[in-house]
Homo-oligomer: A and B are copies of this chain.
Amino acid sequence: MSSPPRERAGRRPRRVADRLHQLPFKQPRHRLPAAEVVSADELEMIHDASLRVLEEIGLRIQNQTAIDLLRHAGAIVGEGQNVRIGREIIAQALTTVPPRFTLHSRNPAHNIVVGDDYLAFATVGGPPNCSDLDGGRRPGSQKDSRNFIRLVQSLNCVHSVGPAVAAIDLDAETRHLDTVFDLLTLTDKVFGASAIGAERFNDAVDLVCIARGVDRAELARTPSLSTVINTNSPLLVDGPMAEGLMACAAAGQATIVTPFTLAGAMAPISLAGALAQQNAEALAGIALVQLVRAGAPVMYGGFTSNVDMRTGAPAFGTPEYAKGAMVTGQLTRRYGIPYRSSNVNASNAVDAQAAYESQMALWSSVLGRTHFMHHGVGWLEGGLVASFEKMIVDAEMIQLLVKTMEPMEVTEDALGLEAMKEAGAGGHFFGTAHTQRRYETEHYTPLLSDWRNFETWQLAGSQDATQRANTIYKTMLDAYEKPPIDPGIEEALEAFGARRRQEIGARG
Complexed CA–CA distance, A173 and B496 (Å): 82
Q: Which residue of B lies closest to A380 (CB)?
A: B454
User: Using Cβ atoms and an 8 Å threshold, which residues of chain B touch A147?
Assistant: none
Is A234 touching B353 in the complex (CB atoms < 8 A)?
no
**Given known contacts A416-B270, A420-B273, is B309 in contact with A439 (CB within 8 Å)?**
yes
Is A352 touching B466 in the complex (CB atoms < 8 A)?
yes
Query: In the complex, how many angstroms separate the beta carbon of A93 from the nearest chain B beta carbon?
Result: 21
- Residue-wise interface mask of A (428-448) relative to B, using a CB-CB cutoff of 8 A (1 in contact, 0 not): 111010110011101110101
**Given known contacts A430-B264, A435-B264, A462-B348, is B270 in contact with A442 (CB within 8 Å)?**
yes
User: Using Cβ atoms and an 8 Å threshold, which residues of chain B touch A410?
Assistant: 38, 42, 45-46, 272
User: Using Cβ atoms and an 8 Å threshold, which residues of chain B touch A357?
Assistant: 449
Complexed CA–CA distance, A447 and B461 (Å): 31
From B266, B313, B465, A347 is in contact (CB under 8 Å) with B465
Which of A54-62, A65-73, A94-102 makes up part of the contact surface? A54-62
Is B408 touching A37 in the complex (CB atoms < 8 A)?
yes
- Residue-wise interface mask of A (306-333) relative to B, using a CB-CB cutoff of 8 A (1 in contact, 0 not): 1011011111011110110001000000
From B60, B232, B306, B415, A273 is in contact (CB under 8 Å) with B415
Complexed CA–CA distance, A259 and B346 (Å): 39
In the assembled complex, A185 has its CB within 8 A of some CB on chain B: no
Query: In the complex, how many angstroms separate the beta carbon of A272 from the nearest chain B beta carbon?
Result: 4
In the assembled complex, A172 has its CB within 8 A of some CB on chain B: no
Is A427 touching B234 in the complex (CB atoms < 8 A)?
yes
In the assembled complex, A411 has its CB within 8 A of some CB on chain B: yes
Complexed CA–CA distance, A236 and B425 (Å): 5
The size class of the interface chain A forms with chain B is: 35 or more
Complexed CA–CA distance, A413 and B432 (Å): 64
**Given known contacts A268-B419, A411-B272, is B352 in contact with A393 (CB within 8 Å)?**
yes
In the assembled complex, A248 has its CB within 8 A of some CB on chain B: no
Q: Which of A345-360 contact B (CB under 8 A)?
A: 346-360
From B267, B315, B411, A451 is in contact (CB under 8 Å) with B315
Which of A5-13, A26-34, A162-170 makes up part of the contact surface? A26-34
Q: Which residue of B lies closest to A360 (CB)?
A: B400
In the assembled complex, A243 has its CB within 8 A of some CB on chain B: no
**Given known contacts A56-B417, A400-B319, is B453 in contact with A234 (CB within 8 Å)?**
no
Query: In the complex, how many angstroms separate the beta carbon of A452 from the nearest chain B beta carbon?
Result: 6
User: Using Cβ atoms and an 8 Å threshold, which residues of chain B touch A381?
Assistant: 454
Q: Which of A221-261 contact B (CB under 8 A)?
A: 232, 234-236
Complexed CA–CA distance, A196 and B180 (Å): 66
In the assembled complex, A421 has its CB within 8 A of some CB on chain B: yes
Complexed CA–CA distance, A267 and B427 (Å): 9
Is B359 touching A417 in the complex (CB atoms < 8 A)?
no
From B414, B417, B451, A57 is in contact (CB under 8 Å) with B417
Query: In the complex, how many angstroms separate the beta carbon of A384 from the nearest chain B beta carbon?
Result: 7
**Given known contacts A235-B425, A269-B434, A465-B347, is B352 in contact with A354 (CB within 8 Å)?**
yes
In the assembled complex, A276 has its CB within 8 A of some CB on chain B: yes
In the assembled complex, A404 has its CB within 8 A of some CB on chain B: yes
Is B465 touching A353 in the complex (CB atoms < 8 A)?
yes
User: Using Cβ atoms and an 8 Å threshold, which residues of chain B touch A287?
Assistant: none
Is A430 touching B265 in the complex (CB atoms < 8 A)?
yes
User: Using Cβ atoms and an 8 Å threshold, which residues of chain B touch A503?
Assistant: none
A-B contact pairs, 9 of them (CB 8 A): A37-B408, A270-B409, A319-B403, A347-B449, A348-B454, A351-B465, A353-B448, A355-B359, A356-B356
**Residue ranges of A at the interface with B (Cβ–Cβ < 8 Å):** 31-38, 42, 45-46, 49, 52-53, 56-60, 80, 82, 137, 232, 234-236, 263-274, 276-277, 306, 308-309, 311-315, 317-320, 322-323, 327, 346-360, 363-364, 367, 381-382, 384-385, 393, 396-397, 400-401, 403-404, 406, 408-411, 413-417, 419-421, 423-430, 432, 434-435, 438-440, 442-444, 446, 448-454, 457-458, 462, 464-466, 469
In order of increasing CB-CB distance, the 6 nearest A-B pairs are: A273-B416, A268-B416, A319-B403, A359-B359, A355-B355, A60-B425
| Further 14 A-B residue pairs, CB within 8 A, beyond A264-B435, A346-B451 | A45-B410, A49-B417, A58-B425, A137-B454, A232-B426, A234-B420, A263-B442, A268-B432, A272-B409, A309-B439, A318-B446, A319-B401, A320-B444, A351-B466
